[in-house]
């Protein structure tokens, strides 16, 4: 399906992976499911948040993306293809609406500078850790995947991550993201 929510959900599934118990993401936030920081009722995820099921995680992801798309459409004043909107939705899901609202990307997009706006995605690959701004390889890979979809270099389909018994339990999300980026580059 070529709907922006399904495109963003595919990216989020692939980049975030599925965790049914609360965990701290690389940026230091309590998270659950496919990278949600809040539950369906709006409450923040904490270490005390009960585990959820895969079905609940999927429903939470889709509910979150639908709400974000509504907010994104209020901010964007130009027409977007499903690929562009899907890439921006994943970016918004990862960073939050407030980051997008004040971004150079949004200013460029709304002024008709479509390509320059898309290139801005690649700059959002840092996180604050211990008072320092650091580059996270997983964010670099994610931003590149978003950019490929935004530009139409891929069909907009990023397959959902599926648990694999061949992946050692010590494999990090950053390692998986690097592997996915290599796969995406190979298919371009």
CA distance 38 to 156: 26
Digit-by-digit pLDDT tens for the chain (188 residues) are 569 999 999 999 999 999 999 999 988 899 999 999 999 999 999 999 999 999 999 999 999 999 999 999 999 999 999 999 999 999 999 999 999 999 999 999 999 999 999 999 999 999 888 888 999 999 999 999 999 999 998 755 444 333 333 333 344 444 444 454 455 455 54
Total residue count of the chain as it appears in this document: 188
The predicted structure's pLDDT at residue 94: 94
pLDDT in tens, 92-104: 999 999 999 999 9
CATH architecture for residues 4-187: Orthogonal Bundle (1.10)
Domain segments of the chain: what residues? 4-187
Query: Hey, which residues are catalytic here?
Result: 16, 25
Residue 182 has what pLDDT? Answer: 54
First vs last Cα of the chain: how many Å apart? Answer: 20
Secondary structure in 3-state letters for the chain: CCCHHHHHHHHHHHHHCCEEEEEECCCCCEEEECCECECCCCCECCCCCCCCCHHHHHHHHHHHHHHHHHHHHHHCCCCCCHHHHHHHHHHHHHHCHHHHHCCHHHHHHHCCCHHHHHHHHHHCCEEEECCEEEECHHHHHHHHHHHHHHHCCCCCCCCCCCCCCCCCCCCCHHHHHHHHHHHHHHHC
Q: What pTM does this model have?
A: 0.80
Q: Contact, 125 vs 143, CB < 8 A? A: yes
């Amino acid at each position: 399906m070529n709907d922006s929510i399904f495109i963003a959900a595919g990216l989020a599934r692939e980049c975030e992976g599925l965790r049914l118990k609360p965990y701290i993401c690389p940026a230091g936030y309590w998270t659950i499911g496919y990278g949600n920081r809040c539950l369906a009722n709006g409450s923040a995820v904490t270490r005390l948040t009960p585990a959820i099921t895969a079905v609940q995680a999927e429903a939470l992801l889709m509910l979150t993306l639908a709400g974000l798309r509504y907010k994104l459409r209020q901010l964007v004043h130009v027409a977007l293809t499903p690929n562009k909107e899907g890439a921006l939705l994943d970016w918004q899901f990862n960073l939050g609406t407030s980051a997008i609202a004040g971004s150079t990307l949004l200013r460029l997009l709304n002024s008709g500078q479509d390509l320059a706006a898309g290139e801005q995605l690649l700059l959002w690959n840092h996180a604050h850790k211990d008072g320092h701004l650091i580059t996270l390889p997983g964010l670099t890979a994610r931003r590149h995947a978003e950019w490929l979809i935004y530009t139409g270099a891929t069909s907009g389909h990023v397959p959902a991550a599926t648990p694999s018994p061949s992946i050692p339990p010590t494999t990090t999300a950053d390692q998986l993201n690097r592997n996915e980026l290599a796969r995406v580059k190979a298919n371009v």
